[in-house]
Each structure stands twice: as structure tokens, then as C-alpha cells.
Amino acid sequence: MLRIKDLVKRYGKDEAVLKDLNLEVPGESVVAIIGASGAGKSTLLRCINRLVEPTSGSIDLNGTELTTLSGGELRLARRRIGMIFQGFNLINRLTVMENVLSGRLGYVPTWRAMTRNFPQSDIDRAFQLMERVGIAHYANKRADELSGGERQRVGVVRALMQEPEILLADEPTASLDPKTSRQIMELLRALASELHLPVLINIHNVTEAKEYTQRIVGMRFGRIIFDSVPTDLTQDAMDEIYAGVPAEERGETGDPESLREVVSQ
Amino acid sequence: MTSSVEKTTGHRTWKKPPFIANPAIRWAIILGVLAYVVWAVTSLPFNWERIQEGIPRAIRIFKGAFPPDMIRGELVLQGFLESIKIAIVATLAGVMLSVPIAFAAASNIAPKWLYNIGRATIIIARSFHPVIVAILFVKAVGFGPLAGILTLTIYSIGFVAKMLAERIEEIDWGQVEAIRAAGGGTFITMLYAVIPQIMPRQIGLSIYQLDSNLRASAVVGIVGAGGIGSTLMNAFRRYDYDFALAITLCIIGVILISEAISGRIRRNIW
């Protein structure tokens, strides 16, 4: 159970990116977070595993308050939270197996990590997961030799190697073609139910969000303005989530008349 | 100056804006440089009489140098072997010290205080030409290869640590985020997310530096820091100009070979 309460994130003295945000993700649900660019989706996910430092508020994962952790405690908490990235963020020059095993870096002692001497149980788990997503035959290939869809599978397996209690996916399909994108979404949904894992997915593709998740959260300007099952996401709700652009909202756009004059000259 | 985009009747003209926009500053710089060159050339003490006296001496030296003569070939071989040893040991020591210094001097990784220390170390290592450093070390530890090794180690740090720090500052940060998100500590994150990204550059720099140290070891040898440079200097002292020319030709040959090899390796991995 992930419980976010009154979360605020402010960069410097600018307007807050997340404003008193509240969200609960129980059990093993797959939740899609939608919203325009700049709505704060990515910041929200990064606040959970503290890649971004929250300004105030509380984030509780299965009884652990995440916002106050530091040093070793933070590392122990991070290994319980798997993350999947838009740009895959694999270590390009290392092999697929090394990338997968790097999901264990929060568990193994430094000397094992240095010598790439991972415990047999980790290696077994790695092969098992790689076989599950169909990349086991690439174990000794360099990560940058794989196609986009295959790389994201490596990313998924790396996150699962952490034996996470929750999975965060930040635009996991935005760098992929439509077909591969659907395969990855399908994989995430299947894995979530097989491993009884709650998954939080930032996503731009609303059709995929509706199809592959049980709950949709709509964000706008740092607030959650929609939170319901996919069938409730009507055109009106969509218009509200994606209405306007931040500059327009603040009344910062130029006078269209003057531009028309320039163009027609 | 009028504006560079100017509207005239019918059509507009365009001229490339001058390099320095302010005309007063532009002309002041041009005139200042000209004035300095004139002053510098006229005030330098060219003593034509001494130059005239020197010409026959120069001719005598060159005459003595031809034909080049490998009288003491074993000295040349010894000198080169020592130079190569100096270059290899200095490169190894320099590169090993460069890696931690480079991490300290990378602004995206090191905290501000450490960054300042790292940058200062690099600046100090770079601020003196190896010959000056060699003179200091020859005074400190005496004639011989140890002075050469110490000199070239510092020379290596100045170059390798600086270039490596710049490479670290260009890394893809996403990979660092991924290892952090998996729960990796600072050291493990460096090992998994940073080192693989800078490895090709690290190897290329090390090979370049080995090549560069071999060349520099011939130069620092002249001030007494061992190697082929010392052999060359001794030949001059004994007026063996033909032997000295032979050594010089050998140095050119060895450097051409080492440059060809290092260039080839670097092209294949960079």
C-alpha cells in the first residue's frame, strides 16, 4: 500500500510543481497517471523513490515513511521500489546480464558487485525472469545492441530483480513504436498480476491507459483532478485534464493580432 | 557603424556583422596589437655581430654531425630502454592517480568543496612545463630515471585527469539514476553507471599519454632526468656531434613508430 499525503514539490522559489497531492495505491492495482507535459507526473514518481527530493508532505510505503530517510536507510528503501524509464537507462556498454543483475546492487556486498560475482540465487532469478520476457538468449550481448522493445524488457527485468514492493514506470512506452508499446504494456499488466505487484505508470497514450489499467489518475498543474475507473474517463473529463497550456493559464501568451500582421507583411 | 541590416529604397542590403561590435574597441585592439609588435621587434636585442660569429660555429657543428655515426649503439639501446621504462611507469602511476582526481574534478558528481580541490590539483599539475618540473625533481631526488618518472607522472595527471573529468561531466545521467533507483550506493553507482561510460575515453587517453610520455621523456632527460635524453646530452657534452645526430634520428624513428601504433589503437576504440 502506497499512501501519499499533502505532497508538495517546489523547485527553488518557482510555483510548486506538486500542490498538496494526495494519492493512495492499495494492493496490486495497475494505475495509469495521465496529464499534459509539465503536469508533474514525472516529478511525482521521482519523489516516491527520492530521485527528486519532496519539499513537504508524506509518502508511506507499506509502513515505511520514505520522505525522512537518508543514507543507508534510503538505499534499503529504494531497492524495494522498482523503476522503469522512458529512455530505458540501461548501462549501454555492459552486457544484458550485467544490466539485469544491477537490479541486485542494493542487496549484494560491494566486493561481489565489483567482481561481478553475484550469488547463484540471483543468477537463477535473472535467467528465470529473462526467459519470462523472452530475452534470455541475449544474456551476453551488449545492451546497446538490442532493439528498443528488447531494451525495455531488460529495464523491466532489472526492476523486477529488486524484488520490489511497487513498480514505478515513467513513460515506459513513449520511446517505442505502437506495436512494441502495446507488448510492453501487456507485459506490465501480466507481471503485475503474476507477482501481485502494484504498478504506477505515467503514460501519454490514453487509449493504452484505458485498455491496460484498472484505474486512471488525471493530473493537471500539480493536482489530481480525476481519479476513477477507465470507463468514467469521458470526453469532458479528458478535455479538463488536457485543457489549455500552462502559459495560457497564467495569461502569458502574446497578442495574436500583432503576429498575424507580421506574417502577412 | 550603421546597423548591419539596412533598409534602402527598393532592396535591403546585408553585411556580415563585425567580429567585435563596438568600433572604438575594435580599432583600439587592432592598433594596440600593431603597436606592440613594432615595439617588441625594435626593442629585442638582436646582436648581428654575435649572430655572424655564431654562423661558422653552427657550420662546424653540422659538419661534425655528418655522417651520423652509431659509435656506441649499446648506449642508445640502454637509453631507449630506460626511456620506455620511465614512460610506462609514469603512465601507469599517472593514470591511476588521474581517475580519482578526475571524479573529484567533475562538477556533476563531486560536491563543491571536493570539486574545488580536484580542479586545483589539475591546474597545479598543468601549470608548469615538464622541463621545469624535471629541473625541480632532479634537484630534489638527484640525476636519473626517478626524477623522470616523478615528472611525467605529474605531467600525466595534468592531461589525463582534465580530459577524463570533462568526459565524466558529459555522461548520460539516466544511467546514474537507474543504479541509484536500484539502491546502489555512491561507490557502486560510480562503478556501474559512470565507469562503463568513460572506459573508451580512459583507454584512449592512457594510450595517448604513454606515447606522449615517451616523447617527453626524451626532453626531460636533457635536464638530467634519465633516459635517451641523458644519452643525447652526454654526446653533446663530449662533442660527439655525429653520435648526437644518430641519436636524434633514432628518437624521431621511435616516436614515429609509437605514434603510428597508438594512433591505430585509439582509432579502433575511441
pLDDT tens for each residue of B69-102: 777 778 888 888 888 898 999 999 999 999 999 9
How far is B207 from B260, CA to CA, in rounded Å? Answer: 11
The residue ranges of every structural domain in chain B are: 5-43, 72-269
Mean of all residue pLDDT scores within chain A: 88
Residue A60 located in a structural domain: yes
Of B175, B181, B184, the CB nearest to A49: B181
How far does A224 lie from chain B, in Å, by closest CA? 25
pLDDT of residue B76: 81
3-state secondary structure of B3: coil
Residue A40 located in a structural domain: yes
DSSP conformation class of B192 = I
Residue A104 located in a structural domain: no
pLDDT of residue B1: 45
141-200 in chain B: CB under 8 A from chain A: 172, 174-175, 177-185, 187-188, 191-193, 196-197, 199-200
CATH class of B72-269: mainly alpha
Residue A55 located in a structural domain: yes
pLDDT of residue A253: 54
Q: Tell me which residues of chain A have a C-beta less than 8 Å from any C-beta of chain B.
A: 49, 51, 72, 75-79, 81-83, 85, 87-94, 102-107, 110, 113-114, 155, 158-159, 162
How far does A236 lie from chain B, in Å, by closest CA? 36
More confident residue, A70 or B5: A70
Q: Which residues of B touch A107 (CB under 8 A)?
A: 183
Residue A107 located in a structural domain: no
Q: How confident is the model at residue B113 (pLDDT cuts 50, 70, 90)?
A: very high
Instruction: Tell me how far CA of residue A64 lies from CA of A69, A189, B153, in angstroms.
Output: 9, 26, 50
Residue A124 located in a structural domain: no
Q: How confident is the model at residue A95 (pLDDT cuts 50, 70, 90)?
A: very high
How far is B23 from B18, CA to CA, in rounded Å? Answer: 9
Average confidence (pLDDT) over A74-101: 93
Contact indicator for B216, B130 with CB cutoff of 8 Å: yes
How far does A253 lie from chain B, in Å, by closest CA? 29
Residue A246 belongs to domain with CATH number: 3.40.50.300
Convert the pLDDT of each residue in A156-205 to its tens digit.
Answer: 999 999 999 999 999 999 888 989 899 899 999 998 888 889 999 999 88
- Residue A70 identity (one-letter amino acid): S
Q: Please give the model's pTM, rounded to 2 decimal places.
A: 0.78
How far is A86 from A78, CA to CA, in rounded Å? Answer: 19
Residue A126 located in a structural domain: no
Q: How many domains does chain A have?
A: 1
Q: How confident is the model at residue B37 (pLDDT cuts 50, 70, 90)?
A: very high
A90 and B178 within 8 Å at the Cβ level: the answer is yes
Q: How confident is the model at residue B111 (pLDDT cuts 50, 70, 90)?
A: very high
More confident residue, A32 or B235: A32
How far is A181 from B93, CA to CA, in rounded Å? Answer: 49
Convert the pLDDT of each residue in A14-43 to its tens digit.
Answer: 888 899 899 999 878 899 999 888 888 999
pLDDT of residue B238: 83
pLDDT of residue A250: 47
Q: How far apart are the first and last CA of chain A?
A: 61
Query: If you count them, how many residues does chain A have?
Result: 265
Give residue A10's domain range.
1-80+167-172+198-265
Residue A110 located in a structural domain: no
